[in-house]
Amino acid sequence: MRALLAPARTRDAATERRVARIVADVRREGDRALVRYARRFDGLEGPLEVTRAEMRERARQVPPSVRAAVRTAARHIRAVARRQVPRGWRTRVASGVTVEQRIVPLDRVGCYVPGGRHPLPSSLLMTAIPAAVAGVKEVVASCPRPEPAVMAAALEAGVSRLFRVGGAHGVAALAYGTQTIPRVDKIVGPGNRYVAAAKALVSSDCGIDFYAGPTEIVIVSTRGPAAWIAADLIAQAEHDPDARAVLITPSRRLANSVAREVEARLPAAGPAREALRAHGGVVVTASIREAIDLANLSAPEHLVVDDDRMAAKVTCAGSLFVGSWSAQVAGDYAIGSNHVLPTSGAARGRGGLSAADFVRQITVQRLTPAGLRGIGEVVDALARAEGLEAHAESIAVRING
Protein backbone atom coordinates (compact mmCIF):
# COMPACT_ATOMS: atom_id res chain seq x y z
CA MET A 1 0.00 0.00 0.00
CA ARG A 2 2.85 2.40 0.78
CA ALA A 3 4.27 1.97 -2.73
CA LEU A 4 0.82 2.63 -4.19
CA LEU A 5 0.01 5.75 -2.16
CA ALA A 6 3.45 7.31 -1.67
CA PRO A 7 5.83 5.93 -4.26
CA ALA A 8 9.44 6.98 -3.79
CA ARG A 9 10.91 9.20 -6.47
CA THR A 10 13.66 7.01 -7.89
CA ARG A 11 16.60 8.59 -9.67
CA ASP A 12 17.49 7.19 -13.07
CA ALA A 13 21.27 7.50 -13.22
CA ALA A 14 21.45 6.59 -16.91
CA THR A 15 18.90 9.25 -17.84
CA GLU A 16 20.67 11.86 -15.70
CA ARG A 17 24.02 11.12 -17.33
CA ARG A 18 22.53 11.37 -20.81
CA VAL A 19 20.73 14.60 -19.96
CA ALA A 20 23.90 16.08 -18.44
CA ARG A 21 25.77 15.47 -21.70
CA ILE A 22 23.02 17.04 -23.78
CA VAL A 23 22.74 20.10 -21.54
CA ALA A 24 26.53 20.57 -21.53
CA ASP A 25 26.67 20.31 -25.33
CA VAL A 26 23.92 22.92 -25.84
CA ARG A 27 25.46 25.22 -23.24
CA ARG A 28 28.86 24.99 -24.94
CA GLU A 29 27.90 24.89 -28.64
CA GLY A 30 24.60 26.77 -28.74
CA ASP A 31 22.55 26.41 -31.91
CA ARG A 32 24.92 23.88 -33.47
CA ALA A 33 24.22 21.31 -30.75
CA LEU A 34 20.59 22.36 -30.40
CA VAL A 35 19.82 21.78 -34.09
CA ARG A 36 21.72 18.50 -34.08
CA TYR A 37 19.66 17.16 -31.19
CA ALA A 38 16.40 18.62 -32.51
CA ARG A 39 16.88 16.82 -35.83
CA ARG A 40 17.74 13.60 -34.02
CA PHE A 41 15.03 13.58 -31.35
CA ASP A 42 12.31 15.95 -32.58
CA GLY A 43 12.43 15.29 -36.32
CA LEU A 44 13.20 18.94 -37.02
CA GLU A 45 13.33 19.71 -40.72
CA GLY A 46 12.74 23.46 -41.05
CA PRO A 47 13.88 26.42 -39.00
CA LEU A 48 13.88 26.38 -35.20
CA GLU A 49 11.46 29.29 -34.86
CA VAL A 50 7.84 29.32 -35.97
CA THR A 51 6.99 32.66 -37.56
CA ARG A 52 3.83 34.60 -36.68
CA ALA A 53 2.65 34.15 -40.27
CA GLU A 54 2.99 30.37 -40.01
CA MET A 55 1.22 30.36 -36.65
CA ARG A 56 -1.73 32.25 -38.14
CA GLU A 57 -1.83 30.05 -41.23
CA ARG A 58 -1.71 26.79 -39.27
CA ALA A 59 -4.20 28.04 -36.68
CA ARG A 60 -6.74 28.53 -39.47
CA GLN A 61 -6.64 24.75 -40.01
CA VAL A 62 -8.04 24.16 -36.52
CA PRO A 63 -11.77 23.32 -36.47
CA PRO A 64 -13.93 26.27 -35.36
CA SER A 65 -15.22 24.31 -32.35
CA VAL A 66 -11.66 23.77 -31.10
CA ARG A 67 -10.72 27.43 -31.65
CA ALA A 68 -13.81 28.47 -29.70
CA ALA A 69 -12.88 26.05 -26.90
CA VAL A 70 -9.36 27.52 -26.77
CA ARG A 71 -10.81 31.05 -26.42
CA THR A 72 -13.20 29.99 -23.65
CA ALA A 73 -10.54 28.09 -21.71
CA ALA A 74 -8.17 31.06 -22.06
CA ARG A 75 -10.82 33.43 -20.69
CA HIS A 76 -11.34 31.22 -17.63
CA ILE A 77 -7.59 30.83 -17.00
CA ARG A 78 -7.13 34.61 -17.20
CA ALA A 79 -9.96 35.18 -14.71
CA VAL A 80 -8.30 32.90 -12.14
CA ALA A 81 -4.78 34.17 -12.83
CA ARG A 82 -5.80 37.79 -12.19
CA ARG A 83 -6.78 36.82 -8.65
CA GLN A 84 -3.44 35.08 -8.10
CA VAL A 85 -1.09 38.00 -8.77
CA PRO A 86 0.40 39.05 -5.40
CA ARG A 87 -0.29 42.61 -4.28
CA GLY A 88 2.33 45.05 -3.11
CA TRP A 89 2.07 46.57 0.36
CA ARG A 90 3.86 48.89 2.76
CA THR A 91 3.79 48.78 6.55
CA ARG A 92 5.27 50.75 9.45
CA VAL A 93 6.82 48.26 11.86
CA ALA A 94 8.17 50.86 14.30
CA SER A 95 8.66 54.60 14.46
CA GLY A 96 10.90 55.52 11.53
CA VAL A 97 11.01 51.94 10.20
CA THR A 98 8.97 50.90 7.13
CA VAL A 99 8.97 47.75 5.03
CA GLU A 100 7.51 47.54 1.56
CA GLN A 101 6.82 44.54 -0.67
CA ARG A 102 7.23 45.42 -4.32
CA ILE A 103 5.88 43.11 -7.03
CA VAL A 104 7.93 43.05 -10.23
CA PRO A 105 7.18 40.70 -13.18
CA LEU A 106 9.91 38.44 -14.51
CA ASP A 107 11.44 39.74 -17.73
CA ARG A 108 11.26 36.56 -19.82
CA VAL A 109 9.89 33.07 -19.18
CA GLY A 110 10.00 29.81 -21.10
CA CYS A 111 6.90 27.63 -21.37
CA TYR A 112 7.63 24.00 -22.19
CA VAL A 113 4.82 22.24 -24.07
CA PRO A 114 5.13 18.46 -24.58
CA GLY A 115 4.71 17.12 -28.09
CA GLY A 116 4.64 13.36 -27.57
CA ARG A 117 1.58 11.14 -27.90
CA HIS A 118 -0.89 14.00 -28.21
CA PRO A 119 -0.76 17.74 -28.95
CA LEU A 120 -1.34 19.69 -25.72
CA PRO A 121 -2.67 23.19 -26.44
CA SER A 122 -4.08 23.21 -22.91
CA SER A 123 -0.58 23.06 -21.42
CA LEU A 124 0.44 26.09 -23.43
CA LEU A 125 -2.59 28.04 -22.18
CA MET A 126 -1.94 26.98 -18.57
CA THR A 127 1.67 28.19 -18.62
CA ALA A 128 1.67 31.21 -20.93
CA ILE A 129 -1.52 32.96 -19.79
CA PRO A 130 -0.63 33.29 -16.08
CA ALA A 131 2.77 34.65 -17.15
CA ALA A 132 1.15 37.25 -19.40
CA VAL A 133 -1.37 38.20 -16.70
CA ALA A 134 1.49 38.67 -14.23
CA GLY A 135 3.03 41.18 -16.62
CA VAL A 136 5.94 39.17 -18.05
CA LYS A 137 7.27 41.13 -21.03
CA GLU A 138 8.36 38.17 -23.17
CA VAL A 139 6.76 34.72 -23.07
CA VAL A 140 8.72 32.14 -25.06
CA ALA A 141 7.22 28.72 -25.84
CA SER A 142 9.08 25.55 -26.76
CA CYS A 143 7.37 22.50 -28.29
CA PRO A 144 9.09 19.70 -30.23
CA ARG A 145 6.23 19.26 -32.70
CA PRO A 146 3.73 22.13 -32.44
CA GLU A 147 0.48 21.04 -34.05
CA PRO A 148 -2.04 23.60 -35.42
CA ALA A 149 -4.03 23.53 -32.15
CA VAL A 150 -0.87 24.42 -30.21
CA MET A 151 -0.24 27.33 -32.58
CA ALA A 152 -3.81 28.54 -32.12
CA ALA A 153 -3.30 28.41 -28.36
CA ALA A 154 0.00 30.31 -28.69
CA LEU A 155 -1.73 33.13 -30.53
CA GLU A 156 -4.59 33.24 -28.02
CA ALA A 157 -2.19 33.26 -25.06
CA GLY A 158 -0.07 36.07 -26.50
CA VAL A 159 3.14 34.03 -26.79
CA SER A 160 6.01 36.22 -28.01
CA ARG A 161 8.01 33.50 -29.77
CA LEU A 162 7.48 29.78 -30.48
CA PHE A 163 10.29 27.29 -31.16
CA ARG A 164 10.21 23.78 -32.61
CA VAL A 165 12.39 22.13 -30.01
CA GLY A 166 11.84 19.90 -27.00
CA GLY A 167 13.52 17.47 -24.66
CA ALA A 168 16.60 18.13 -22.56
CA HIS A 169 18.13 20.15 -25.39
CA GLY A 170 15.13 22.48 -25.46
CA VAL A 171 15.32 23.00 -21.70
CA ALA A 172 19.05 23.74 -21.94
CA ALA A 173 18.46 26.30 -24.70
CA LEU A 174 15.88 28.11 -22.59
CA ALA A 175 18.08 28.02 -19.49
CA TYR A 176 21.33 29.23 -21.07
CA GLY A 177 20.31 30.78 -24.37
CA THR A 178 21.66 30.13 -27.87
CA GLN A 179 22.13 32.29 -30.93
CA THR A 180 18.43 31.78 -31.77
CA ILE A 181 16.68 31.11 -28.47
CA PRO A 182 16.94 33.78 -25.75
CA ARG A 183 17.83 32.91 -22.18
CA VAL A 184 14.83 32.97 -19.84
CA ASP A 185 14.44 33.74 -16.14
CA LYS A 186 12.25 30.73 -15.45
CA ILE A 187 11.14 27.51 -17.18
CA VAL A 188 7.67 26.11 -16.50
CA GLY A 189 5.57 23.28 -17.83
CA PRO A 190 5.33 19.47 -17.80
CA GLY A 191 7.42 16.98 -19.73
CA ASN A 192 8.84 13.47 -19.84
CA ARG A 193 11.64 12.14 -17.65
CA TYR A 194 14.31 13.79 -19.82
CA VAL A 195 12.63 17.17 -19.50
CA ALA A 196 12.20 16.71 -15.75
CA ALA A 197 15.84 15.70 -15.32
CA ALA A 198 17.01 18.64 -17.42
CA LYS A 199 14.90 21.10 -15.42
CA ALA A 200 16.35 19.73 -12.19
CA LEU A 201 19.88 20.02 -13.60
CA VAL A 202 19.56 23.65 -14.76
CA SER A 203 17.65 24.81 -11.67
CA SER A 204 20.80 26.18 -10.04
CA ASP A 205 21.18 28.60 -12.97
CA CYS A 206 17.57 29.19 -14.05
CA GLY A 207 14.33 29.21 -12.11
CA ILE A 208 11.89 26.32 -12.63
CA ASP A 209 8.38 25.65 -11.37
CA PHE A 210 9.02 22.22 -9.83
CA TYR A 211 10.15 18.72 -10.65
CA ALA A 212 7.23 17.03 -12.42
CA GLY A 213 6.95 13.25 -12.37
CA PRO A 214 4.20 11.04 -13.81
CA THR A 215 0.65 12.30 -13.32
CA GLU A 216 -1.55 10.97 -10.51
CA ILE A 217 -5.10 11.00 -9.16
CA VAL A 218 -6.45 9.86 -5.80
CA ILE A 219 -10.21 9.64 -5.23
CA VAL A 220 -11.68 9.41 -1.74
CA SER A 221 -15.33 8.38 -1.82
CA THR A 222 -17.97 6.55 0.17
CA ARG A 223 -20.79 6.58 -2.35
CA GLY A 224 -19.64 6.82 -5.96
CA PRO A 225 -21.13 6.69 -8.56
CA ALA A 226 -18.87 3.78 -9.38
CA ALA A 227 -19.03 4.34 -13.14
CA TRP A 228 -17.94 7.96 -12.76
CA ILE A 229 -15.04 7.04 -10.49
CA ALA A 230 -13.89 4.35 -12.92
CA ALA A 231 -14.06 6.82 -15.80
CA ASP A 232 -11.95 9.32 -13.84
CA LEU A 233 -9.30 6.72 -12.98
CA ILE A 234 -9.04 5.60 -16.60
CA ALA A 235 -8.95 9.17 -17.89
CA GLN A 236 -5.96 10.08 -15.75
CA ALA A 237 -4.21 6.79 -16.51
CA GLU A 238 -4.35 7.34 -20.27
CA HIS A 239 -1.79 10.16 -19.97
CA ASP A 240 1.17 7.90 -19.24
CA PRO A 241 1.96 4.22 -18.54
CA ASP A 242 3.58 5.44 -15.31
CA ALA A 243 0.49 7.38 -14.17
CA ARG A 244 -0.91 6.61 -10.70
CA ALA A 245 -4.69 6.21 -10.22
CA VAL A 246 -6.08 5.15 -6.83
CA LEU A 247 -9.44 4.94 -5.09
CA ILE A 248 -9.50 5.06 -1.26
CA THR A 249 -12.81 4.12 0.33
CA PRO A 250 -14.23 2.63 3.53
CA SER A 251 -16.94 0.95 1.43
CA ARG A 252 -16.05 -2.54 0.24
CA ARG A 253 -19.19 -2.53 -1.91
CA LEU A 254 -18.04 0.63 -3.72
CA ALA A 255 -14.54 -0.79 -4.09
CA ASN A 256 -15.86 -3.91 -5.81
CA SER A 257 -18.22 -1.89 -8.03
CA VAL A 258 -15.45 0.43 -9.18
CA ALA A 259 -13.15 -2.51 -9.90
CA ARG A 260 -15.83 -4.08 -12.10
CA GLU A 261 -16.49 -0.78 -13.89
CA VAL A 262 -12.79 -0.23 -14.57
CA GLU A 263 -12.44 -3.70 -16.05
CA ALA A 264 -15.49 -3.16 -18.24
CA ARG A 265 -14.40 0.26 -19.50
CA LEU A 266 -10.65 -0.17 -19.78
CA PRO A 267 -9.31 -0.23 -23.37
CA ALA A 268 -7.84 -3.54 -24.48
CA ALA A 269 -4.42 -1.94 -24.92
CA GLY A 270 -2.67 1.36 -24.42
CA PRO A 271 -1.17 3.51 -21.65
CA ALA A 272 -4.31 3.45 -19.48
CA ARG A 273 -4.25 -0.33 -19.18
CA GLU A 274 -0.49 -0.33 -18.53
CA ALA A 275 -0.78 2.38 -15.88
CA LEU A 276 -3.68 0.81 -14.01
CA ARG A 277 -2.08 -2.61 -14.05
CA ALA A 278 1.20 -1.26 -12.66
CA HIS A 279 0.19 1.77 -10.59
CA GLY A 280 -3.58 1.61 -10.08
CA GLY A 281 -5.53 0.16 -7.22
CA VAL A 282 -8.24 0.39 -4.58
CA VAL A 283 -7.49 0.79 -0.86
CA VAL A 284 -10.26 -0.19 1.56
CA THR A 285 -10.01 1.58 4.92
CA ALA A 286 -11.73 1.15 8.27
CA SER A 287 -13.18 4.68 8.22
CA ILE A 288 -13.46 7.84 6.17
CA ARG A 289 -11.05 9.52 8.61
CA GLU A 290 -8.42 6.91 7.77
CA ALA A 291 -9.12 7.40 4.06
CA ILE A 292 -8.50 11.16 4.31
CA ASP A 293 -5.38 10.58 6.40
CA LEU A 294 -3.98 8.28 3.72
CA ALA A 295 -4.81 10.82 1.02
CA ASN A 296 -2.97 13.54 2.93
CA LEU A 297 -0.01 11.20 3.38
CA SER A 298 0.00 10.60 -0.36
CA ALA A 299 -0.11 14.36 -1.16
CA PRO A 300 -1.37 13.61 -4.69
CA GLU A 301 -1.34 15.84 -7.72
CA HIS A 302 -5.14 15.57 -8.05
CA LEU A 303 -7.42 14.67 -5.15
CA VAL A 304 -11.18 14.14 -5.54
CA VAL A 305 -13.51 13.93 -2.51
CA ASP A 306 -17.26 13.53 -2.02
CA ASP A 307 -18.17 16.75 -0.23
CA ASP A 308 -17.06 19.83 1.68
CA ARG A 309 -16.85 17.96 4.98
CA MET A 310 -14.13 15.77 3.51
CA ALA A 311 -12.54 18.74 1.75
CA ALA A 312 -12.16 20.58 5.07
CA LYS A 313 -9.87 17.80 6.33
CA VAL A 314 -7.57 17.85 3.27
CA THR A 315 -4.17 19.41 3.94
CA CYS A 316 -1.94 18.04 1.15
CA ALA A 317 -2.98 18.06 -2.50
CA GLY A 318 -1.88 19.80 -5.65
CA SER A 319 -5.47 20.42 -6.70
CA LEU A 320 -8.69 19.45 -4.89
CA PHE A 321 -12.00 18.61 -6.58
CA VAL A 322 -15.12 18.51 -4.39
CA GLY A 323 -18.21 16.52 -5.36
CA SER A 324 -18.84 13.94 -8.03
CA TRP A 325 -19.81 16.60 -10.58
CA SER A 326 -16.42 18.32 -10.16
CA ALA A 327 -14.74 16.13 -12.76
CA GLN A 328 -10.97 16.32 -12.55
CA VAL A 329 -10.76 16.27 -16.36
CA ALA A 330 -12.62 19.59 -16.42
CA GLY A 331 -9.71 21.04 -14.47
CA ASP A 332 -7.36 19.89 -17.24
CA TYR A 333 -9.08 22.20 -19.69
CA ALA A 334 -11.80 24.62 -18.79
CA ILE A 335 -12.34 25.43 -15.10
CA GLY A 336 -9.58 28.04 -15.12
CA SER A 337 -7.53 26.51 -12.32
CA ASN A 338 -4.06 25.44 -13.41
CA HIS A 339 -3.30 21.86 -14.40
CA VAL A 340 0.50 22.22 -14.03
CA LEU A 341 0.75 20.64 -10.58
CA PRO A 342 3.28 19.08 -8.18
CA THR A 343 3.60 15.29 -8.28
CA SER A 344 5.38 12.55 -6.35
CA GLY A 345 4.46 14.03 -2.97
CA ALA A 346 5.72 17.53 -3.81
CA ALA A 347 2.29 18.90 -2.83
CA ARG A 348 3.53 18.72 0.76
CA GLY A 349 5.55 21.82 0.00
CA ARG A 350 3.67 23.80 -2.63
CA GLY A 351 0.58 24.06 -4.81
CA GLY A 352 0.17 24.26 -8.55
CA LEU A 353 1.50 26.80 -11.01
CA SER A 354 -0.04 30.26 -10.66
CA ALA A 355 0.48 33.85 -11.72
CA ALA A 356 2.45 34.31 -8.48
CA ASP A 357 5.19 32.11 -9.98
CA PHE A 358 5.96 34.79 -12.57
CA VAL A 359 6.81 37.75 -10.35
CA ARG A 360 9.65 38.79 -8.08
CA GLN A 361 8.66 39.87 -4.59
CA ILE A 362 11.25 42.49 -3.66
CA THR A 363 11.41 43.69 -0.07
CA VAL A 364 12.21 47.40 0.33
CA GLN A 365 13.42 48.80 3.69
CA ARG A 366 13.49 52.45 4.74
CA LEU A 367 14.88 53.77 8.04
CA THR A 368 15.08 57.31 9.32
CA PRO A 369 17.89 58.36 11.72
CA ALA A 370 15.43 58.01 14.62
CA GLY A 371 14.27 54.68 13.28
CA LEU A 372 17.81 53.25 13.22
CA ARG A 373 18.48 54.54 16.72
CA GLY A 374 15.23 52.93 17.87
CA ILE A 375 16.26 49.44 16.75
CA GLY A 376 20.01 49.91 17.07
CA GLU A 377 20.28 48.24 20.47
CA VAL A 378 18.38 45.19 19.18
CA VAL A 379 20.69 44.83 16.19
CA ASP A 380 23.78 45.39 18.33
CA ALA A 381 22.78 42.77 20.91
CA LEU A 382 21.91 40.10 18.34
CA ALA A 383 25.00 40.75 16.21
CA ARG A 384 27.34 40.45 19.19
CA ALA A 385 25.49 37.33 20.39
CA GLU A 386 26.34 35.78 17.03
CA GLY A 387 29.97 36.90 17.27
CA LEU A 388 29.64 39.28 14.31
CA GLU A 389 31.38 42.35 15.66
CA ALA A 390 31.59 44.10 12.28
CA HIS A 391 27.82 43.88 12.01
CA ALA A 392 27.46 45.68 15.31
CA GLU A 393 30.03 48.29 14.27
CA SER A 394 28.05 49.01 11.09
CA ILE A 395 25.25 50.30 13.33
CA ALA A 396 27.51 51.98 15.89
CA VAL A 397 29.37 54.01 13.26
CA ARG A 398 26.08 55.59 12.24
CA ILE A 399 24.60 56.17 15.69
CA ASN A 400 27.82 57.29 17.41
CA GLY A 401 29.26 59.26 14.48
- If one counts every other C-beta atom within 10 angstroms of the C-beta of residue 104, the result is 12
C-alpha–C-alpha distance, residues 47 and 88, integer Å? 42
The kind and range of the H/E element at 81 are helix 64-84
Q: Which amino acid is at 260?
A: R
Q: Which position among 301, 339, 386, 393 bears the catalytic label?
A: 301
Q: How far apart are CA 166 and CA 163, in angstroms?
A: 9
Residue type, 268: A
The active-site residue out of 238, 302, 389, 393 is 302
100 is catalytic: no
β-bridge pairing 244-249 and 359-367 = unpaired
Give the integer Cα–Cα distance in Å for 120 and 11.
27
Main-chain phi, psi angles of 94, to 5 degrees: -165, 170
CA distance 240 to 274: 8
Q: Would residue 156 show up in a list of annotated catalytic residues for this protein? A: no
Q: What is the DSSP string of 187-236?
A: EE----HHHHHHHHHHTTTSEES----S-EEEEE-SS--HHHHHHHHHHH
Active site residue ranges: 301-302
